[in-house]
Amino acid sequence: MAYYDHFNLADDYINHLDTLMGSISDPFVKSRYTGFVAISAVTVYELAIKTIFLEFAGRKHKVLKNFTSAYFERINGRIKVKVIRDDYISKFGDKYVVKFDRLIKQKEYDVLRSAGASISSSYGNIIEWRNQFAHEGIIPTTPTYDEVKKSYQFGKSIIDCLDEAMKR
């Protein structure tokens, strides 16, 4: 399965919610849906990250794939950019870290110029909103539903950079 296929889970959920959100007037209900979108986004990010590393390891060696599978069995939300870089990519070699950093820097520049958004901030915000909602019971009141959707979409670029970095 390609890593981006995991995005379909959250994308389908968001498409369904898009048809409902205009008819919901209760801010309490809207905030809950916003939190659930953040949870869905981080879930598919986790699945995509695992898939990228498993495919990378599988291209290298069967034993490495088995080890990588066990290592990533329980990443449970540990997917911040710094963790991806320092705890995951670095295990496979510095050249992949350098490539990841270069790709993010370029994508960040491109998206800032074209859309006026930061992929790094968007990705970090989704993770923060998810953690607040899932672990602390705090409803994300600052972002709107549309802002969470946009952050999720821009945050996908981080995953794209990871995929590209883990290829020769």
pLDDT at 62: 94
- Cα distance between residue 100 and residue 97, in whole Å: 5
Q: Tens digit of pLDDT for each residue in 36-78?
A: 999 999 999 999 999 999 999 999 999 999 999 999 988 877 9
pLDDT, mean of residues 103-111: 98
Mean pLDDT within 15-35: 92
Instruction: Enumerate residues 6+ apart whose C-beta is below 8 A from 154.
Output: 111, 115, 117, 118, 119, 122, 123
Indicate if the pLDDT at residue 16 is higher than 80.
yes
pLDDT at 93: 95
Half-sphere exposure of 162 (CA within 13 A, CB side): 34
- pLDDT at position 105, please? 98
**Any idea where the domains of the chain sit in the sequence?**
3-165
